[in-house]
Amino acid sequence: MKLIPRIDFSKLKNGLAKTRNNILNKISETITRKANVDESTIEALEETLISCDMGLDLTEKLISNARKRILTQPDRSVLAIIEIIKSELTSLLPFSDYNLSDRILNSKKPYVILVVGINGSGKTTTVGKLASRLQSEGLKVIIGSADTFRAAANDQLKIWAERAKVQLIEATSNDPASVAYDSIRIALEEKADVVLIDTAGRLHNNKNLMNELSKIKKVIASLIPDAPHDSLLVIDGNSGQNAITQANEFNSFVDLTGLILTKLDGTAKGGIVFQICEMKRLPVCFIGVGEASEDLQEFSVFDYIDAIFAGPTVQN
């Protein structure tokens, strides 16, 4: 197995430009408008962090830890304030050691990944990107096209499978559980390393559709008892507070192992990822910062903080 770099920092930084510019511009305005850094500066900083979806709880903790340092900081430059925010944020957020390559390496094969989420969150694209990534690590990957709702879903996956040079198991009926079953059976026969199962988008409050996911899981486990090894929820990074609801609801039906936040390139509110990390329930495993296959980045909270608070003068 050939390990490819887990994170391309320059891509990550470019992808997060909207959030970074939003935060940095607001902090810059706050600091430069003032003769002194005082309580009203602190309030403005608080508003800035909340406005990028960092969440009330995390922002309050951060500001309460940083208040004294900010008020007594002799260097009142934007960079000095950002350094304080960065270091306080780093100490508040847990380090996640989720590493897909390691998990696959240490597991019996095939390693099965079930991908779920609401409509349009980025599941199919993420399955395609993951297939590319794992295939280029030298793994034999099979994709199961278990979105039997939309005819176009299969065509979309076909393009990704061809691009990634991996085998696609297409639906022969409109039963997603039977596609999952066929995909695992073929993967066992062909000694594949990884099976990625794409599923149809569904709303977390639609009980029937959520139960269908439990059925897919059962069918998978009937062939490989400890599979799926990962059940990953794909969440659109623009979902705001609803992201938290989606994570909780899907988790109650599927026993998720992790989250993937997509489309973070399209939002100025990338602070949602910090809020999710602070909940410490499920690891953020990957993030999507663009539509191309190399835009799926493994998630590291330190790199994410660095990319968002990279500072106005730092170049790629």
Interface residue with ligand GTP among 231, 262, 275, 297 (CB under 6 A) is 262
Name beta bridge partners: 259. Answer: 233, 284
Residue type for 206, please? Answer: N
Q: Does residue 212 interact with ligand GTP by CB under 6 A?
A: no
Interface residue with ligand GTP among 124, 132, 246, 293 (CB under 6 A) is 124
Name beta bridge partners: 114. Answer: 197, 231
Q: How far is the CB of 198 from ligand GTP (least distance, A)?
A: 7
Q: How far is the CB of 177 from ligand GTP (least distance, A)?
A: 17
Determine how β-strand 284-288 pairs with β-strand 296-298: antiparallel
Q: How far is the CB of 232 from Mg ion (least distance, A)?
A: 14
Tell me how many degrees the CA angle 167-172-177 measures, rounded to the nearest 5: 85
Q: Which does 88 bind (CB under 5 to 8 A by kind): Mg ion, ligand GTP, none?
A: none
Nearer to Mg ion, 137 or 198 (CB): 198
Q: Does residue 145 interact with Mg ion by CB under 5 A?
A: no
Interface residue with Mg ion among 22, 124, 239, 257 (CB under 5 A) is 124
Interface residue with ligand GTP among 110, 201, 258, 271 (CB under 6 A) is 201
How many angstroms separate the CA atoms of 220 and 227, rounded? 6
Nearer to ligand GTP, 127 or 282 (CB): 127
Q: Does residue 125 interact with ligand GTP by CB under 6 A?
A: yes
Whole-Å CA distances, 20 to 150, 153, 221? 36, 33, 43
| Footprint of ligand GTP on 266-295 (CB under 6 A) | 266, 288-291, 295
- Helix or strand or coil: residue 194? strand
Judge whether 50 and 274 are in contact, CB under 8 Å.
no
Q: Does residue 121 interact with ligand GTP by CB under 6 A?
A: yes
Q: Show the site string, 133-172: x = touches ligand GTP by CB under 6 A, - = not.
A: --------------x-----x-------------------
How many angstroms separate the CA atoms of 48 and 294, rounded? 31
Q: Which does 121 bind (CB under 5 to 8 A by kind): ligand GTP, Mg ion, none?
A: ligand GTP
Q: Does residue 263 interact with ligand GTP by CB under 6 A?
A: yes
Which tokens sit at 202? 């569904």
Environment class of 187 (CB within 10 Å of its CB; exposed 0-12, middle 13-18, buried 19+)? buried
Q: What element of type H or E holds 272?
A: helix 272-279
Of the ranges 66-74, 79-87, 261-269, 304-312, which one interacts with ligand GTP (CB under 6 A)?
Answer: 261-269
Give the position of tokens 């600091």: 31
Nearer to ligand GTP, 26 or 263 (CB): 263
| Footprint of Mg ion on 147-206 (CB under 5 A) | 153
Q: What element of type H or E holds 288?
A: strand 284-288
Residue type for 188, please? Answer: L
Q: What are the backbone dihedrals phi and psi of residue 16, each rounded to the nearest 5 degrees, phi first?
A: -100, 15
In the complex, the residues that contact ligand GTP under the rule CB under 6 A are 117, 119-125, 147, 153, 200-201, 262-263, 265-266, 288-291, 295
In the complex, the residues that contact Mg ion under the rule CB under 5 A are 123-124, 153
